[in-house]
Amino acid sequence: MHGVVPKTMWQKQNPADDENMCRWAMRCLLVVTGNNNILIDTGMGTKQDEKFFSYYHPHGEESIEKNLAKNGYSSDDITDVFLTHLHFDHCGGAIKKEHDQLVPAFSKAKFWSNEEHWQTATHPNEREKASFLKENILPIKESGQLQMVTTNENGEWVTDIEIITVKGHTEAMMLPLIKYHDRKILFCADLLPSVAHISLPWVMAYDMRPLDTLNEKQVILEKAAAENWILFFEHDPKTECCTVQEVNGRVKVKETFSLKEFTDKMESN
């Protein structure tokens, strides 16, 4: 997760346990807009076997179903599942096992990918093969619920959601940039998995093109600082959101906060 950054440095950000394992989140986002209830990413799901989960030590009581229910929704209310990319920890929860059959976990939803990334995920290279699991991916197409994202001349997929496509982590990963009141929220996916990754050299070791990631981060972070975007982190175990600012030619963290703190503040204004 920390690439070439020495453990003496990253240990301060996310301490490892006795097995050298760090704690990470799989934080998804529900966007309610118009008649659409859009779920962005789905975590790793629960259908894999015990051996698979033993590699990752999933823990905690949180789940998409429980958190949807807390907010007055169910899986059947989801109209769209937007998958930033098809690595197992981002799309595994899109498919569930039901009576030994693999079926969509959101029965009424359209599932969104893009042609370029779909081809990469269904014909993976040897390095990424372990992240693209056919049981997570092929049942989406077999269900007839798969759709491919297209954007208009402004880069919008739907009203108020622009798509930024990056290729450093994997081919054609999609980052939704969501307009909320007069602000923009960037769902950072694996371009910026945590607040620590705002530092440009902090690039994950399994990115396909690490120098592209570094360059993509620089461009996006400079724009985020200039336009005061909210950065939403999918994997950071503690920090949900932050803003950034330019200091002496470098982009650094300005403020950190939870998404609820931000949305409550916006609604009260």
Give me the residue spans of the domains in the chain.
25-149, 158-269
Superfamily for the 25-149 domain:
Ribonuclease Z/Hydroxyacylglutathione hydrolase-like (3.60.15.10)
User: Do 190 and 87 touch, CB atoms closer than 8 A?
Assistant: yes
The tens place of each residue's pLDDT in the chain, 269 residues long, gives 999 999 999 999 899 999 889 999 999 999 999 899 999 999 999 999 999 999 998 888 889 999 999 999 999 999 999 999 999 999 999 999 998 899 999 999 999 999 999 999 999 999 999 999 999 999 999 999 999 999 999 899 999 999 999 999 999 999 999 999 999 999 999 999 999 999 999 999 999 999 999 999 999 999 999 999 999 999 999 999 999 999 999 999 999 999 999 999 988 87
* 102 backbone dihedrals φ, ψ, rounded to 5°: -95, 115
pLDDT at 61: 85
Question: What tokens were used for 140?
Answer: 């989406």
Cα 84 off chain centre by:
6
| Strands 80-82, 36-40: pairing kind | parallel
pLDDT at 84: 98
HEC profile for 141-189?
HHCCCEEECCCCCCCEEECCEEEEEECCCCCCEEEEEEEECCEEEEECC
Q: Name the DSSP letter for residue 77.
A: G
On the question of a common fold for 25-149 and 158-269, the answer reads yes
**Strand extents, DSSP E, the chain:** 29-33, 36-40, 80-82, 95-98, 101-104, 110-113, 146-148, 156-158, 161-166, 173-180, 183-187, 230-232, 241-247, 250-257
Instruction: Tell me the C-alpha to C-alpha distance, in Å, between residue 44 and each of 41, 58, 75, 245, 266.
Output: 9, 9, 16, 33, 31
Q: Is 245 left (phi over 0), alpha (psi -120 to 50) or beta?
A: beta
Spatial distance between the Cα atoms of 180 and 169, rounded to a whole number of angstroms: 27
Instruction: Tell me the C-alpha to C-alpha distance, in Å, between residue 78 and each of 151, 168, 176, 269.
Output: 21, 30, 17, 28
Question: What tokens were used for 210?
Answer: 């690490």
* 52 backbone dihedrals φ, ψ, rounded to 5°: -60, -50
pLDDT at 268: 81
Question: What tokens were used for 260?
Answer: 């609820």
Domain 158-269 has CATH 3.60.15.10: yes
pTM of the model: 0.96
Cα 41 off chain centre by:
6
pLDDT at 77: 97
Contacts 24+ apart (CB under 8 A), 180-183: 180/230, 180/263, 180/266, 181/266, 181/269, 183/228, 183/229, 183/230, 183/266
Q: Cα angle at 262 between 218 and 187, to 5 degrees?
A: 40
SS3 content of the chain, % helix, strand, coil (to 5): 30, 25, 45
